[in-house]
Chains A and B, each alone.
Chain A
Amino acid sequence: MIKGKKVVSQSFFPSLLLLVIFFAIMGVMNHGLTLSFVKSLILTNTPALCLAIGVTVTILVGGTDISLGSIVSLVNVVIITLAGLGYSITISALIGLLVAVICGVFNGIVIGIMRVNPLLTTFATSTIYAGIALWILPNPGGSIDYAFAKWYMGGLFGFIMTPVMLLILLVFIWAGAIRTPFGLKAYALGCNEKKAYASGINVNGIRVLVHTFAGLTAGVAGICLTATICSGSPTVGATMSLNSIAAAVIGGVSLNGGKGGIFGAILGAGFLSILSSIVVAANFSSYSQSFIKGLILLIGVIASILAGDKVLKDKIKGIFCKGGAKS
């Protein structure tokens, strides 16, 4: 019971609830869930999960990053183009990753050291990165050896799939980072920049690091996406940026900074992924799909914000505890 209470009081609880409910709805719609279905769900949605981690980290320090989707596009075209030129998959993917990290560092330098507003900076750089992607590969196309997709779908130890490993790697890096003094300082910065400066915290350094990490997550997302679609498109990541922010908010991350964590964001992104596939599977006409998805998304965001309301939270807690006592 104590454990149950603890989970309910977490900021990510609404997203967990949504995830479970919609997972169940999907199960009913598909007349049961097969392992292969869940696997394919993970395969296609790992890029979104990666971006949710990246954007959450920037929001936590009181900033934001809307350029991550463009970085994903850029990584995608870089990998496809390099592979087309005859480079090996490994080298193409690593260069793609490097490009993403450089993009992240650039964001970090402009935001952290030149102190430009994060939203404006990443809005501008998202256009720049998308522009470079278009320049490299004006028309969708190209292909990559199927071995890439095989590596991505395959498991390192038989059952654990590559995307799960990559996600765990990102989570591990961040979880490690917040256990160093950097973590507390990042949360402090997210709470109040002026006070953080007055407390002798290296505000600029933290911002650069955080955006670099966000770039890394976009790089991993780009690799995963490329392995899923096995071709190049300069606009493939365009809609992912704002989706990732929505995922973070549903996951209980405060847009004002300093509150929440990547765990919630991952749950939020998972919910959004399931939502998309449900809307597609439900055979709504293609004209109303976007409307219905948006409506449910709005309800999800409102629910998670209301759940941050203390009074409401206590009520929910009360219901939960009663239910628990009966059983």
Chain B
Amino acid sequence: MSLEIKNVSKHYGAVIAIKEANMVVNSGEVRAILGGNGSGKSTLAKVISGLVGSNSGEISFDGVPLDFSSPKDAKKHQVIMTSQELSLFKNLTVEENICICNLPTKNMMTNRKQMKERAKDILKRMQLESLMGKLVSELAPNQQYMVELAKAIVQEPRILIIDEITSALYREDVEIVDEIVSELKQKGCIILFISHRMAELYAMCDSVTIMRNGETVGTYPIMDKTEDEYLSLMIGSKIESYHGEGKHQEKSKRDIFMRANHIPIPSYHTYEMLEIGKGEIIGIAGLQGHGQTDLLQALYGGFGKINIELDGKKVTVKNAKEAVSHGFAYISGDRERDGTFSERNLTENLSAVQELVKHKKIPNAKKVLDELHVKYDNQNELITSLSGGNQQKIVVGRWLTASPRIIFADDPTKGIDVNARTDLHKEFAKIANNGNAVVMISSDDDELVSITSMVKTSKVIVMYEGHISAILEGNDINRENIFAAAMPINAIPEEKGAREDDKR
């Protein structure tokens, strides 16, 4: 009995998520899947569990081809996935959530008694009986992840995919997960385990498949290689021609421009501090969802009042409008949601901040568009008629016309092509060189290495679980260092007490 994945590919539009992935997992095997951001791990998991369809390739189990049209179909075949985003319903109780995929009935009615027993059984195994009867919205994040796992296990999976579940768990929770995994293993269940915590992978998994840029690079028995060897496999050789490593200016002195001592990171209930120098570009790296976006939004007034020091003066930013009046700009990588006004034309999109917030006219919209090398027919066409890269240039242009002093950019080059990317990098560098500052998140470490080498003063901050795990400057800025800080080896999850202190 084995799960075979042959040449599976998946692309979203022009973006390739998985490229000819291959993998064979035997029954009773726990397989780790390792890879960096955007390497296709989660997409592969979604394809196997029927959440998204593949474009080509074949998946078979026991020699029978599996081609699920929906998660419902996959569940019938006992292929279950626990999701990184969680699939729990906050308005239902723990036991309702655990059993929702397969509710017991009696004369057509939901058999609540049996449902409770079923949930109690599984929660007992996980030492979480105290959660019975609570609403999911009342649970702490780590408890929610445990319930998510319980919900999967109650469906008696033959193939179980655990996607990044342990990254939110404490050590004692992980021990329970470990026990459950070995129980399932004995029953012959196939487990795919996606995680970034190497220590856990060594403890729980038999073998590991490395993914890089959507490809499966290789499969090894887990004990065969050291952490460093796996790390270099994940990074691989450079694909895009970025230049910058080793070209950074050595730690030069910077004039402090802005300082924030108490920046809330709501996702992790932590606080961080940040100093921004004049003319500096700060790159923020880290695995997805480790508090990077929170950090920027907090500085922009997104989570309510925040006290900062700007040019040595104490300033309070209450909301985005005040942030703009202090000369802050916020550029999001999620153009559709936070960037463009899709029903408006280029000029209107370009002048949104200047006219609507600052009540000034833009002297020459055409000049701005040309300076940014936007490819367009005429200024009055809808912004949606442009390619993603050109749309993003207009969003950036909107802020440039407002002459910002600090630009906060959340993965601004997500999903845009290399040329547009280079153009944007140049614009950012120009802004920094004029004595302003740019703080930029990127899921692409290469990009951060490259852009920070373009100005005199720069640093890269790496975030992990809501904390800054490293601040790299000068020649320390390279991909290996960023990668290592984003996935601290032997990162020991904090004890519950310590985490709660932070909350206070």
Contacts and interface: CB of A to CB of B under 8 A. Distances in A.
Indicate whether A and B interact.
yes
Contact of A181 (B72, B88, B90, B105): B105
A168 B89 CA distance: 30
Q: Main secondary structure on chain B at its contact with chain A?
A: loop
B96 A184 contact: yes
A262 B87 CA distance: 26
A190 B91 contact: yes
Nearest to A260: B91
Nearest to B76: A200
Nearest to B102: A200
B101 A199 contact: yes
A195 B92 CA distance: 13
Given A200-B71, A200-B72, A258-B91, A185 B100 contact: yes
Contact of B72 (A184, A195, A201, A258): A201
Nearest to B115: A184
A200 B103 CA distance: 12
A197 interface: yes
Given A198-B83, A199-B71, A202-B72, A187 B51 contact: no
Given A184-B100, A188-B92, A199 B87 contact: yes
A187 B71 contact: no
Contacts of A258: 89, 91
A179 B110 contact: yes
Interface string B35-74: 0000000000000000100000000000000000011101
A200 B90 contact: no
Among B71, B74, B89, B108, which residue has the most Cβ atoms of chain A within 10 A? B89
B414 to A, nearest CB: 21
B92 A180 contact: no
Contacts of A185: 100, 103
A184 B87 contact: no
Contacts of B75: 200
A202 B72 CA distance: 8
A184 B110 contact: yes
B110 A180 contact: yes
Contacts of B91: 187-188, 190-191, 258-259
B110 A199 contact: no
A192 B105 contact: no
Most buried by B among A179, A184, A195, A200: A200
Contact of B89 (A179, A180, A195, A200): A195
Contacts of B88: 195
B109 interface: yes
A143 to B, nearest CB: 44
A190 B83 CA distance: 19
A200 B72 CA distance: 4
Nearest to A192: B89
A82 B5 CA distance: 63
Contacts of A197: 51, 70-71
Interface string A247-290: 00000000000110000000000000000000000000000000
Interface residues of B, number: 25
Interface in B76-124: 81, 83, 85-92, 96, 100-101, 103, 105, 108-110
A254 to B, nearest CB: 9
Contact of B109 (A179, A188, A199, A259): A179
Nearest to A195: B87
Interface in A185-220: 185, 187-188, 190-192, 195-202
Nearest to A182: B110
B70 A201 contact: no
A191 B92 CA distance: 9
Contacts of B103: 181, 184-185
A8 B214 CA distance: 54
A180 B100 contact: no
Contacts of B101: 199-201
Nearest to B90: A191
A198 B71 contact: yes
Contacts of A190: 91
Nearest to B107: A180
B203 to A, nearest CB: 28
A183 interface: yes
Nearest to A188: B89
A180 B70 CA distance: 23
A192 B100 CA distance: 13
A191 B110 contact: no
A196 B86 CA distance: 11
Nearest to A190: B91
Nearest to A257: B91
A201 B85 CA distance: 17
B70 A200 contact: yes
A196 B72 CA distance: 10
Contacts of A200: 70-72, 74-75, 101
User: Which of B70, B100, B101, B109 counts the most A-chain CB atoms under 10 A from its CB?
Assistant: B100
A191 B89 contact: yes
Interface in B137-188: 151
Contacts of A179: 109-110
A184 B92 contact: yes
A258 B89 CA distance: 9
A262 to B, nearest CB: 16
B72 A180 contact: no
Nearest to B83: A198
Contacts of A196: 89
**Residue among A184, A187, A202 with most chain B CB within 10 A:** A184
A197 B46 CA distance: 13
Nearest to A191: B89
Given A187-B91, A191-B91, A258-B89, A181 B110 contact: yes
B92 A187 contact: yes
B96 A180 contact: no
Contacts of B81: 198
A195 B83 CA distance: 9
A98 B294 CA distance: 53
A187 B96 CA distance: 11
A16 to B, nearest CB: 21
A177 to B, nearest CB: 10
A162 B88 CA distance: 43
Contacts of B110: 179-181, 183-184
A187 B136 CA distance: 14
Nearest to B81: A198
Given A188-B92, A188-B100, A259-B91, A180 B71 contact: no
Contacts of A195: 85-89
Contacts of A187: 89, 91-92
Nearest to A179: B109
B87 A180 contact: no
Interface string A287-310: 000000000000000000000000
A185 to B, nearest CB: 7
A202 B102 CA distance: 12
Q: Which 10 A-B pairs have the closest CB atoms?
A: A181-B103, A200-B72, A191-B89, A200-B75, A258-B91, A188-B89, A195-B87, A179-B109, A191-B91, A198-B87
Interface of A: 179-181, 183-185, 187-188, 190-192, 195-202, 258-259
14 contacts: A179-B110, A181-B105, A184-B96, A184-B100, A190-B91, A192-B89, A195-B85, A195-B86, A197-B71, A198-B81, A198-B87, A199-B71, A200-B72, A202-B72
Given A199-B71, A200-B74, 16 more contacts: A180-B105, A180-B109, A185-B100, A187-B91, A188-B89, A188-B91, A188-B100, A191-B92, A195-B85, A195-B86, A197-B51, A198-B81, A198-B83, A199-B151, A200-B70, A200-B75
